[in-house]
Amino acid sequence: MPAKKQPIPSVWTRPRPQKQQPALSRAQIVSEAVKLLDAEGIEALSMRRLGTQLGAAATSLYRHVANKDELLELVVDEIYGEVAVPEAEDPARWRASISACAHSLRTTGLRHPWLTALLGHAGLVYLGPNMMRVSDRVLAILRSAGFPPGEADQAISSVIAYVIGMTGSEAAFLSLLARTGYTEQEWIEQLWPAAEQAAQEHDRLREEFAVQRGQDPVRAREENFVYGLDRILDGLQLRLDQLSGSR
Amino acid sequence: MPAKKQPIPSVWTRPRPQKQQPALSRAQIVSEAVKLLDAEGIEALSMRRLGTQLGAAATSLYRHVANKDELLELVVDEIYGEVAVPEAEDPARWRASISACAHSLRTTGLRHPWLTALLGHAGLVYLGPNMMRVSDRVLAILRSAGFPPGEADQAISSVIAYVIGMTGSEAAFLSLLARTGYTEQEWIEQLWPAAEQAAQEHDRLREEFAVQRGQDPVRAREENFVYGLDRILDGLQLRLDQLSGSR
DNA sequence: CTCTCGGTGCGCACACTGTACGCATCGTGG
DNA sequence: CCACGATGCGTACAGTGTGCGCACCGAGAG
């Protein structure tokens, strides 16, 4: 078997200098990673896979990115770039602005259900430029609404914590569906007996389950989200009234 | 090299039937997994490692657990078993009860900082017995407080989403510290210049950073948590007033 | 007492992961 | 024209989750 796989060194087989296309760049890598994550989920993202997707070898990526973890940090900030925060800072409409921002954060999180898994996977220092942009804008809204410097930050992390928590739970469910191939309706229907049985001895839980049954799950999730958001915004409004009252 | 590593078949070298100890059990595996996770974090948990910790081979674990994922589901529910929910259902004290429960959930999450990473890693169907127990108890409190059947569930997921979101962010930070070996104070001090630079062009952010500087970080995190929790509870109280008013 | 049988542990193997290292090749500035 | 830094890549290593089939045990049946 003298025929080896190594290319015969000849002018004709030698790779032509067609490498004039941009080759590889950090931005391109991150963007392709997002595409791959969206298409096939978090466990499909390996350096080799991402490499072949870019027409490159796995180890080439390391010229532009220190780690897989660093790559993931970049990916997270890239996604934060999709979050829309209203510019207008009319103090009277702070509630609408924050609400819009929260909704944007949620839909972004649901559009990329793998995001929350990355957020949990620690090591993310929250210093990416897009993340900073969002924080600064939201801060502007809250400050103009009347929250003092030290408190605006607490208010913002409360809202964000809520949105991330809620969206994370939804996203986990959605990516479970994506992996198993069920629709939301099918999954609930199939899980029903197990849930009923698990809720034995828990009358209140069963009752709560029964209320949810037959609702459109997408709408139910949305209403659930809005409910909690409204409670938080109510609470913040109350605090705002206290602040302006004591001044 | 005729000397192989395989044991000489003799009565003396043959393993004595000392296997009378319980050998392996699902509960033991889960408990040891938690111990390992607490001690060395999430990336130290491999089936082989867990096996040797139990004096067993990696593949033996699969007799008691279908998957690594299933093992993690069990681990999550095990941890939910540590969450304390007050029994007393005095309707007037619902706020204190929910608050206590939220604090318990938080300290549990901070005691096991790897938890939130698991929660994000989807595939967790929320049907574990301990999880159900907690939900049912909390539901009891909210129902007795005056929330109607369909709404109590929304209220509970709002609170839980907030706690998970906030705790998750804290836990990510804590496990980052654990991995790098810094104290909370040291980390902040060292990251300061980078944060200052990243917050350039974001005056409001810099101002907010400045306020936080010099605070005790542990206390600051706790106060931050309480702040948001109070806002949510205020919002729920408000809603409760609306409900009883319109009745 | 023997014989079978279901449950359990384990060695091996496979496909795959992140990434360190060193070589080959390129476009560019002196 | 030459040297050099930047870039891509082949190879290799240690480690991962897990399927497979064998070895063994204690218990129940004849």
Q: Tell me, what CATH number does A233's domain have? A: 1.10.357.10
Show which of residues 87-106 on chain B sit within 8 Å of chain A, judged by CB atoms.
none
* B177 token code pair: 């510290």
* Contact assessment for residue B118 and residue B75, using Cβ atoms and an 8 Å cutoff: yes
pLDDT tens sequence across A67-108: 999 999 999 999 999 999 998 778 999 999 999 999 999 999
Q: How many CA atoms lie within 13 A of B104 on its CB side?
A: 16
- Residues of chain B below pLDDT 70: 1-22, 122-125, 247
Q: Specify if B176 maps to a domain.
A: yes
| Residue located via tokens 């819009």 | A100
- State residue B9's pLDDT score: 41
Q: Specify if A226 maps to a domain.
A: yes
Q: Which of B10, B34, B65 is the last residue of a domain?
A: B65
A151 and A235 inside one domain: yes
Q: Specify if B209 maps to a domain.
A: no
Extended strands (E) in chain B:
none
Specify the length of chain A in residues. Answer: 247
Q: Specify if A97 maps to a domain.
A: yes
Q: Specify if B219 maps to a domain.
A: yes
Q: Does B213 touch chain A (CB under 8 A)?
A: no
Q: Specify if A191 maps to a domain.
A: no
B159 and B128 inside one domain: yes
B37 and B113 inside one domain: no
Q: How many CB pairs under 8 A join A and B?
A: 214
The residue range of the domain holding A39 is: 26-65
Q: Does A235 touch chain B (CB under 8 A)?
A: yes
Distance (Å) from the alpha carbon of A177 to chain B's nearest alpha carbon: 9
From CA A24, how far away is CA A51, in angstroms rounded?
A: 10
A160 and A236 inside one domain: yes
| Residue located via tokens 């004290």 | B93
Q: Specify if A3 maps to a domain.
A: no
Contacts of A157 (CB under 8 A, 6+ apart): B166, B169, B224, B228
CATH of the domain at B45: 1.10.10.60
Q: Specify if A138 maps to a domain.
A: yes
A31 and A103 inside one domain: no
B99 and B158 inside one domain: yes
A237 and A160 inside one domain: yes
Q: What is the pLDDT along chain A (247 residues), one digit of tens a residue?
A: 333 333 444 444 444 444 445 578 999 999 999 999 999 999 999 999 999 999 999 999 999 999 999 999 999 999 999 999 998 778 999 999 999 999 999 999 999 999 999 998 766 667 889 999 999 999 999 999 999 999 999 999 999 999 999 999 999 999 888 888 889 988 888 888 888 888 888 988 898 888 888 899 999 999 999 999 999 999 999 999 999 887 6
Mean pLDDT of chain B: 88
Q: Does A231 touch chain B (CB under 8 A)?
A: yes
Which residue of B lies nearest to A167 if distances are taken between CA atoms?
B161
Q: What is the domain count for chain B? A: 2
- Give the residue ranges of DSSP H helices in chain A: 26-40, 47-53, 68-80, 94-111, 115-120, 129-145, 149-180, 184-198, 203-212, 217-246
B101 and B137 inside one domain: yes
A173 and A237 inside one domain: yes
Extended strands (E) in B9-153:
none
Q: Do A136 and B202 touch (CB under 8 A)?
A: yes
Q: Do B120 and A118 touch (CB under 8 A)?
A: yes
B49 touches strand D (CB under 7 A): yes
pLDDT tens sequence across B145-174: 999 999 999 999 999 999 999 999 999 999
B45 and B131 inside one domain: no
Q: Which of A5, A38, A65 is the last residue of a domain?
A: A65
A60 nearest nt, CA–C1'? D8
Q: Which long-range contacts (C-beta less than 8 Å, at least 24 apart) are formed by B21-28?
A: B23/B56, B24/B54, B24/B56, B24/B60, B24/B61, B24/B63, B24/B64, B25/B64, B26/B64, B26/B65, B26/B74, B28/B54
From CA B53, how far away is CA B45, in angstroms rounded?
A: 10
- CA A137 to chain CA centroid, Å, is 19
B36 and B118 inside one domain: no
A238 and A142 inside one domain: yes
